[in-house]
Amino acid sequence: MKIRSVMCNNRKKAFQVKSSKGTLVIPYSKIEVRPSASDPVARVFVDKELGGEGFSYVLVSGKEGTVYSEQVFGIQSRPIPLERCADLQVDG
């Protein structure tokens, strides 16, 4: 899945990622190199070296991080509530 654009939202403490599937929100808490109030994001961009399949960011301190599209969509996937699992059973 190609990422079209990415922005950081420090108020929500998350990246907003736009793709053909819509806009997804990735909390800073779900990424490896975490921005903070004392070390915010200085730059964020769709990484051309990844063929648009991820984005990279640089913190003010110089630390860098990369998030791949598989991670973006993996974070956004939600488990099915147990109440709905009974509805999904197949008779056989």
**What is the residue-wise DSSP string for 36-84?**
-SSS-EEEEEE-GGGTTSEEEEEETTS-EEEEEHHHHHHHH--PPPHHH
pTM for the full predicted model:
0.76
Which of the pair, 70 or 56, is modelled with greater confidence? Answer: 56
Q: How confident is the model at residue 10 (pLDDT cuts 50, 70, 90)?
A: confident
CA-wise closest residue to 40 among 24, 70, 61? 61
Ordered by where they begin, the domains of the chain are: 3-88 (3.30.2020)
- Bridge partners, 8 (sequence order): 15
Count the Cβ atoms, other than its own, within 10 Å of residue 26. 19
Q: ∠3-72-74 over CA atoms, to 5°? A: 140
Average pLDDT taken over every residue of the chain: 83
Question: pLDDT digit string (tens) for 23-46?
Answer: 888 999 999 999 999 999 999 999
Give the CA diameter of the chain: 58
